[in-house]
Every structure is written in C-alpha cells, then in structure tokens.
A and B are shown apart, each in its own frame.
Chain A
C-alpha cells in the first residue's frame, strides 16, 4: 500500500532515505535548589551555554551560501546580539544567585517575565516578536540540557529525511550538519527564507505537506521528489526502482554537466548564445569562474550601502568596482547603479514618506533625484572603466529621458575628472533595465538612447501581473510565462532587433532551464543568471534548434487556453 503526500516544490532533487520525524516537543525544565558552594559553578555553566549558543549561530552564519538574501543573515545577527546582551546575562546570573536555582530554571523564570512584558504590548507586530526571545531562550536551553548534542532535532549524523513542522533557517543549517539530506515541512512556502536556503544548500525540500508528522512513521523509507513537490511512503518495489534509477540519472547528469564546462555555448543550428553570471558578493566571483561564465551580466551594488552610517564615497565604490573587473579577468562586466529606495540607505529614512515604495522614488529615479548619491557612482564608474570591459546599467528605467539625463551627468562628471587630472573612460556603454511594463512597451524609445537593454524578469512579472512573488496567497497567479509577460519580452527583443541594440535578460527566468528553449525561440541570445545555473542552461542551449523553437514560441505568445499552452510547452521541451 503506497502513500503519496503532496506539498509545494521548494527545492529540487530526488532523495530516498529514512524519515526522522521531529516533534519539537517543548523542552522540559525542572527546578533544583543548589547548595551554596555550587552556585558559582552554575553561573559559569550558564555563561558557557550562552557562549556556545553564540558560537553556534556564528557558525551557522558562516554556512549560509553566497547569494542568499541578506535578511537571513540579519536575523542571525540579531539573535547573536541578544545572546551577548549584558542585561539578559545579568538578569539570569542574578536569579541563580538570589534563588540558588539551576540555570535552566533561571532561564525559564526570566523567559516568563519577558513574555509577560510582551503580552502587555498593544502593538500586534511588536507583541509577535516574542517569538525571537523564545527562539533564543530555547537555543540556550538546548545547550544547557544536552551540551553534547545541542542539535535542534536530535540527529546522529546519519543521513535522514527530516519531517518537521516548520524549521527556521538557522535550524536547517544545523540539521544539515547533522545528516539532513532532504526536508519535508508541514508549513512554510517555497518563497520562505528556509526554502531559499535549502536551494542554496542543494537540499531537496517539499513544503506545505499538511499533517506530515502524523501520516509518516519514524525511520520508514521515504522518497522525496523536490521538483514535483511530493513525498512517497510505503512505496512498492517497482516504484523504488524507478526513483533509484532517477537518482542515478541525476548524479550522472551532475557529472555530465561538468563536462560541458569547456564546450562553446552554441545552439544545434549554430547560434551563438552568451551565458553570463549575476554577481553580488566575492563568493559569487569564484562561483562564476567555477561554472564557466563568459562575464558578469549583472553586478548588484546595493550591498555596498548596507549596514553603514554614511554613504560610501567615490574611492570605496571605485575599489569595489575594480575588484569585480579584476576578478572577471578581462571578461565583460555589467555594473548596475544603485537599485534601492531611500529607506534602505544610511540615514535615508527621514526622506522617505512614500506610501507605496514599489511605485516610488527608487532605482534610477532616486539617483537622478539626488546627485549626491549618483555622482560618486558615475565618477567611480568612469574611472573604473579604464581598467576593464565595463558597461553600466540603470535600474527602473521607464523612459528614454532617464538615459538622456544620466548621459548629461556622465558628461559633467567627465569634465570634472578632466579638470582634476584623473584618468577616466571616454566611452562607457550605458544600458537600461527593462523591468516595468512601460519600459517594455516604450522599448523602442529607450533603445534609441541605450547601448544595450537587459530584461529584469522578476520585477517585470510582478509589475505586469500585479502579483507579489513573495505573497503565497497569490502564488497561483504568478506565472513567468503568462502571455502578457511573453509579449513584453517579445516587444523588447523586437525593439532591440529594430534598433540594433543588444538585449540580455538577468532575472530568475534567465537562469531557469525550464524556460531556456522558450526564450531562445523568442530570440534571446544573452542570459545572465546565478552562477550555479550556468551549466544547466548551457545543456539546454547545446541541444536547442532555434529554427524549430521559434514558431512554437510565437504561438505561446497568443495562446491563452491552459491545456493548449501546456501542450505547446511540452512540444518546446521536445523540439
């Protein structure tokens, strides 16, 4: 008798292994009265547990793979700060000394009084943050109760498929170290931090499997198919054999992909396709070379502005840009100017009263609005361009005039640099991101002023469909291949072809091998993506025949019937 549970696909991969059901029962705490002479030992035991919990989180932070959104790390930093908090430590040591109780009991008492303070809060959001306190307290308790095995879910290091209510990102990293090979969670969405982290770690994951912990038995053999979002239990021999074969095929495929590293990226009908990397951190630069990118198609500069008291100056921007150019080793690099809203900048909060930041002063609008923000970037870019093949890309462009104004400022910057006797580039290709519907529809006008265009599909899909991709409740309306989105992509490619302007794509869609053939069929020839996706996309490029893909892709532009669309997508996959 086979049991099939369905959830949402959160991270791909086929895994066969024993289940470990994690019940997450509350840790039981008992009170002991300690003899006077043991009290200082107990204080030391508490301090050791606090330090161990801090070290644990610091190590987790180190394990977060590059490219993971920054708020995962922020959340860990906050918990580390709470564990280091002197008034927290003072309250706990005070309780141990006054009551002569064990550290666990002091922690419980203090936790109770903190929770009471939170319960009195009127503001619902602030009240909900007691969750952070509880998570920190639980972490210390685990270190006190079982210093040898403080893993959040037990675990003996043997490979296991963890079945759990909803793990935090930190716990996922810890379980990964204790043998987690796949994750089945009852709640959480594919867009959650934990799911994003699972993908970064290369762990198969299925989320939203209701009642998984009741329906599955500890230690029974499960099959997790992350891409399909399903979990099999009690599987018949034939089924297991099928999945074992698929698993072998996946690992062969991984080896085969490495073999593509040196292959030139051309379609079967000999069309040249450029495959570039999206880069943010130093680790991405390493990954870019490892996966054989032909250059950097998108260098994000926002992180240069995070966690600082003041704006970065021209020299520090120049140093950061040069580092990327150097790492690219002569390959082309596209740097995107700051793509942020005022509230995301140091000391910028007071300026930002936008009711709807997504439609407000952000991207190139903010830079044009505030020359003190834009000028140092433009000057540093002009200076950096002397040392490599640099292109500059503007985010959130909606009209040709955004480029005209930027060119005027570039000219102004050149004059100033000349007066100061500094070296700068006379030529600096300037491009526009096409990421709002208006830009795609006005792509002709924008292309006349731009040296290249780059389609940012994440925002383009969000703005076109009016669907926030992080909002689970509208998840089924999120469709990168919606005809409206495809038509905007096509309009941009047409504008590029009509004006002789190169068109690239740098959103998630460019790095998703499911869409490679469709995009090739529409005429896209330059893809920029997470470095880890490069070889998978290359595998699709090498077997594609654009002559056969084009008519199918064109039909998808107009086809709205879901069944016919499905059929067309299947035919694209086989063409």
Chain B
C-alpha cells in the first residue's frame, strides 16, 4: 500500500434493509463498491467484509437495524463512503419481490 492509501476513513450507520443484508442488497452494495478507486471494508460485530464482495457481505449475516462500521481508504474514500452510506440507509429491497399488480 502506498502512503495515500494508508489513512482509513470511518463511518457508523444502522442498516435499513428490511430483511437485512441478504443476496440482493449484498449484490447491489458490492456492485456499487467495485466502482470506486478505494479499498472498502464493512464490519459487523467481530466480522469484517470486503465491501466489493457479494459473498463476503452475505456471510456477515447483518440483520435489519444492525450497527455497521464502514471503512475506506484511497483516492475516492470519502465519495465511496457517501455512496455506500446512502445505499445502506435506504431500504433497498429489489422491486419485483412483491407481486406486481396485474401480471
């Protein structure tokens, strides 16, 4: 790691997703995280995940309302944290899980 990447930025949030960080929210989060020039980690309890990895995120087992710590370093660390925070604070259940009207 070079010096510019050495400083970790940190945020603490509560997870909004109604059914927790399951497959779809984890996928959306990982896709978002992969788009930034930053190293991104998400911690829940004693476990920590690579935010760009759907598998890692799923194995956190973070339920609705859990306290998460977001850590980032790299050129886009702050922007990445803003984006991740926004996604995690919105209830990002995928549309289509509910029966849509008149299918």
Contact = CB atoms under 8 A, between A and B. Distances in A.
Interface residues of A, number: 58
Interface of A: 69-71, 74, 77-78, 81-82, 85-88, 114, 117-118, 120-123, 125-127, 129, 132-133, 278, 298, 300, 302, 305-306, 339-341, 343-345, 347-350, 352, 357, 363, 395-396, 433, 435, 456-459, 468-470, 506-508
Contact of A340 (B89, B95, B99): B95
Interface in B58-103: 58-59, 61-63, 86, 89-103
A507 B101 CA distance: 9
B54 A78 contact: yes
Most buried by A among B20, B24, B90, B99: B99
A123 B92 contact: no
A121 to B, nearest CB: 4
A508 B39 CA distance: 49
Given A117-B59, A123-B63, A435-B101, A70 B96 contact: yes
B24 A74 contact: yes
A87 B59 CA distance: 12
A129 B91 contact: no
Interface of B: 16-17, 19-24, 27, 30-31, 47, 50, 52-56, 58-59, 61-63, 86, 89-103
B23 A306 contact: no
B79 to A, nearest CB: 14
A344 B95 contact: yes
Nearest to B62: A126
B101 A395 contact: yes
Nearest to A132: B23
A125 B102 contact: no
Given A70-B95, A87-B50, A350 B90 contact: yes
Contacts, number: 124
A300 B95 CA distance: 14
Chain B interface main SS type: loop
Nearest to A348: B90
A341 B89 CA distance: 18
A114 B53 CA distance: 14
B86 to A, nearest CB: 8
A71 B30 contact: no
B53 A85 contact: yes
Given A127-B61, A129-B58, A302 B31 contact: no
Given A78-B23, A87-B55, A306-B96, A507 B61 contact: no
Contacts of A86: 52-53
Contact of A114 (B30, B31, B55, B90): B55
Nearest 5 CB-CB pairings of A with B: A349-B91, A121-B61, A344-B95, A349-B90, A123-B63
Contacts of A70: 95-96
A373 to B, nearest CB: 14
B103 A69 contact: yes
A87 B24 contact: no
20 contacts: A69-B100, A81-B27, A82-B55, A85-B54, A122-B61, A122-B63, A125-B22, A126-B62, A132-B58, A306-B96, A343-B93, A343-B95, A344-B93, A349-B90, A349-B91, A350-B16, A357-B98, A457-B102, A468-B99, A506-B102
Nearest to A91: B55
B20 to A, nearest CB: 5
A196 to B, nearest CB: 9
Contacts of A433: 102
A290 to B, nearest CB: 20
Nearest to B47: A117
A341 B98 contact: yes
Contacts of A459: 101-102
Contact of B93 (A126, A300, A305, A349): A349
Contacts of B16: 349-350
A339 B31 contact: no
